[in-house]
Structure 1
Amino acid sequence: MSATPQRCLGLLSGTSADGVDAALVTISGAGEHARLTLTAFATYPYPAALRQELFALFAQTAPVLPRLCVLDTLIGEAFVTAAQHLCDAAGVPLQALMVIGSHGQTVWHQPAPDPSLPLAASGTLQIGSPAVIAQRTGVPVIADFRSADIAAGGQGAPLVPYFDWVVFRHPTVHRAVQNLGGIANVTYVPAGAGRDDVLAFDTGPGNMLIDGVVQLLTDDAQAYDRDGQLAARGRVLPELLAFLLDDPYFQLPPPKTTGREAYGRERCRAILEHVGLRPGALRLGAEPKTVEFQRACDLLATLVALTAESIAEAYRRWLGPVDEVIVGGGGTRNPVLMAALARALAPARVVPHEAYGIDSKAKEAMAFALLAHDALLGLPTNMPRATGARQAVTLGSLTPPRLGAPP
């Protein structure tokens, strides 16, 4: 393997579907010996009309198949724009890239067969045509990272534990790397971990229920609870918290994954109905002193507690000793959630990724740059103990670029 450092670009759109994260990374070495340096990172928001169509697709609003087909192309174009803009800003020509790793936008993830279907099987679907990206950029594209693991009997997720193992393993410190995205997931990297010692799984909802309830309560005027301001005005409702923690998903042993199909808008609507709150209760102009307003804040405080307590319970059930928790994802910008998590995980030390020189906003995009880089070298990049796969496999499918220089 060449020791020459390579420039690689990682692209993804997460469960919040708010835009494209793009990370330009220089990678030296490969596999467990890889060393990554972040050159540039940015998030490029989707145009409002495109995001609206995405959520119509998530809701399976007719016409589903034409919308799916068109969005595959349009999301691919959005990824191309992100790649071009980031490389231009960094002063790096596209031709200098070894590879682009594109996770695309997940629209459905079926890690286990659904017995209600007449022909049941596992599967996963991400859109954002890699052919469009390769054609427009002239760079090889690795995409469809989940399918190879599913074909090997795994759940196709989580994918980032490979990055966590490469970057965060330590000879004497037991670490948990916790992501607080729409879905919360953990990678457990015990001291001196080899590949087969790493355990990872989705612990349950991260920001998804909090964000979804805020969107419903404000008639979509707010996308999330900025700085946890609404939750900070509420109190945790013990009976509601106990009800929400009585969730079959939390009882499942790893490997396990979940997503929008379990904790999306329909689940949020059901929670509002359960507590007797109507959509729009916190719309613009709502009176903060009303009983309804306070009930809404109490609900959000309880959902924050749900995220923190479900993570802590997952650690107690499934992990070994934890000395340090390294936290990333959008939830790190919610101080109420971070405080609740620190209380729930004490006495473990809770620190952000930035404490180790990793921009937490850039981490997942960096991970796909690494996965693509190592895939081109034919290295196995799944973590079978995390996904449940029968064996280690190389993740991703290669789409070669067109011949000639990009336009």
Structure 2
Amino acid sequence: MLRQLLERYSLTVAGIMSGTSLDGIDVAIVRIDGCGDRAKVELIHFESFAYEAELREKLKQLCSTDHSDVAQLCGMNFAIAERFADAVVRTAAAAQLPMSKIDLISSHGQTVWHIPVADAANAYLPKSTLQIGDLSVIAKRTGRPVVGDFRTADMAVGGQGAPLAPYGDYILFRDSAKGRILQNIGGIGNCTAIPATGTTPTLADADRLIAFDTGPGNMVLDQAVYELSQGQLTYDADGVWAAQGQVHIVLLEDMLAHPYFSQLPPKTTGRELFGKSYASAWLSAAKAQGLPAADIVATATAFTAHSIVRAYQDFVFPHFDIAEVIVSGGGAHNRTLLRMLAELLPQQAIRTSDELGISSDAKEAILFALLGNDWIHGVPNNLPSATGAERPTIMGKLALP
């Protein structure tokens, strides 16, 4: 099976993405011609499968040291893998594509904990990361080979295991004449700044990229909406609620004083810093000041926008001339958030990846399909300039059906 894949120029790959927002599973089935920086991608079909409320809350508990336990973690590793496998099968059926026509599945997994910097006081807390969703379960249920668990390989060569999206961002969105920032806004926000490449770009140019996690994307906002609505809403659709409120400037500045924002890239973060515990504590403080719900949602939205823009001002604009910011992820649907970004960045055009032919919802699943494709071809698929790794390496592990 592997020998046949190695000998083929074109592969059909199902990329699976489940992000820190914990909202569901994205599956993108793509046809990839070639590999590395010359890869060409065609999206065949995309589906998204929302997590039900009970599962989402159980995942939040796993991502919290206050509520997690080893039995739940062990069980969820298999339970979520079953969901991943079912999502691929259902996506293939929706595309009217037999499973036998899918050459490879590439899974990001579900991150439950991420330690990008070793704890100097505890030898048993080295730089490390944990994504669940067992690869063998996916392979056996679907009958297809599965590549996954990418982040650990980058950490093994000194990186932070994230962000991984910049590799695909460079392949899909580099431009000869314009500097671009690719801004994904999922649970966490992450950016890839790509200077204009000129007329003869090569993967070596990717060493010039600046990429890092900007901070919370939808994570704090979604938790605030969930609690303010007594569990009736999981996000602020189109930013409608935020549009009805006023931003509380003092509270916003207090949030932006978090030490993460002053750290130099490469840097990554997740629920360990900005998860449910952080969001609930912040929400309690906002309520204590007597803020109406709409003002709280508006301030949480502004927190995302301002943290993104300050990251650009501190770490990107001093080095690159940027003409466009291209937004993807769930945040691309939040009109209030996009408006705030446009107001804060009058010199840059704010666009969504949909305008460039790549679905903002499907983009990250497509990027992980690219990572799996390059694993098959033996091509290093991390970017040391983004993760801080000592060298390029081939990320991923294989499970056979």
For the superposition of Structure 1 and Structure 2, which TM-score range results when normalised by the shorter chain? over 0.9
Match of 2:3 in 1: none
CA gap 1:95/1:305 in 2 versus in 1, 3 angstroms: same
Change (3 A) 1:277 1:42: farther
Paired residue for 2:48, among 43, 49, 52?
43
In the alignment, residue 274 of structure 2 is paired with which amino acid?
Y
The equivalences for 1:1-400 within 5 A come to 4-60=9-65, 64-115=69-120, 117=122, 119-192=124-197, 194-277=205-288, 295-319=292-316, 320-400=320-400
Cα distance in structure 2, aligned partners of 1:14 and 1:120: 23
CA contact (8 A) 1:233 1:297 kept: yes
Deviations, residues 209-264 of structure 1 (Å, cap 9, x unaligned): 11111112222221112222221111111211111111111101100001111111
Alpha carbons of structure 1 residues 191 and 351: separation in structure 2 relative to 1, 3 Å: same
- C-alpha spacing 1:308/1:47, structure 2 compared with 1 (3 Å): closer
1:272 is displaced (CA, Å) by 2.0
- Paired residue total: 387
Contact persistence 2:64–2:272 (CA under 8 A): no
The aligned amino acid for 2:10 is: P
TM-score (norm 1): 0.91
Letter paired with 2:280:
R
Kept in 1, the 8 Å contact 2:21–2:188? The answer is no
Q: Name the SS for the 2:13 alignment partner.
A: strand
Q: Deviations over 1:346-385 (max 9, x none)?
A: 2111111011100110001111111001111110110101
What is the CA distance between 1:96 and its match in structure 2? 1.6
* Per-residue deviation, 1:61: 5.9
Q: Letter of the aligned partner of 2:321 in structure 1? A: P
- TM-superposed deviation, 1:116: 5.1
Distance 1:23 1:227, change over 3 A: same
| 2:221 partner SS | helix
Please tell me whether the aligned partners of residues 277 and 296 of structure 1 are also in contact (alpha carbons under 8 angstroms). no
| Cα distance, 1:172–1:41 mapped onto 2, change above 3 Å | same
Deviation at 1:120, TM superposition (A): 2.9
Q: In the TM superposition, what is the alpha-carbon distance from 1:396 to its structure 2 partner?
A: 0.8
The DSSP-based 3-state class of the residue aligned with 1:224 is: coil
Instruction: Give the counterpart letter for 1:174 in structure 2.
Output: G
- 8 A contact 2:60–2:276 mirrored in 1: no
Can you list the C-alpha shifts for 1:256-315, whole angstroms capped at 9, x where unaligned? 00111111111112212322349xxxxxxxxxxxxx5x5222122122222111111111
Letter in structure 1 aligned against 2:258: D
- CA shift in 2, pair 1:395/1:332, >3 Å: same
Over the residues paired in the alignment, what is the CA RMSD in angstroms? Answer: 1.7
Distance 2:122 2:388 in 1: 23
Q: Any runs of at least 4 consecutive aligned residues in structure 1 with deviations exceeding 4 A, and if so which?
A: 60-63
Question: Following the alignment from structure 1 to structure 2, what is the Cα–Cα distance between the partners of residues 373 and 328?
Answer: 22
Query: Secondary structure of 1:276's match?
Result: helix
Please tell me whether the aligned partners of residues 105 and 369 of structure 2 are also in contact (alpha carbons under 8 angstroms).
yes
Aligned pair in 2 of structure 1 residues 230, 133: CA closer, same or farther (>3 Å)? same
1: CA distance between counterparts of 2:7 and 2:169?
23
Residue type at the aligned position of 1:45: A
- The aligned amino acid for 2:158 is G
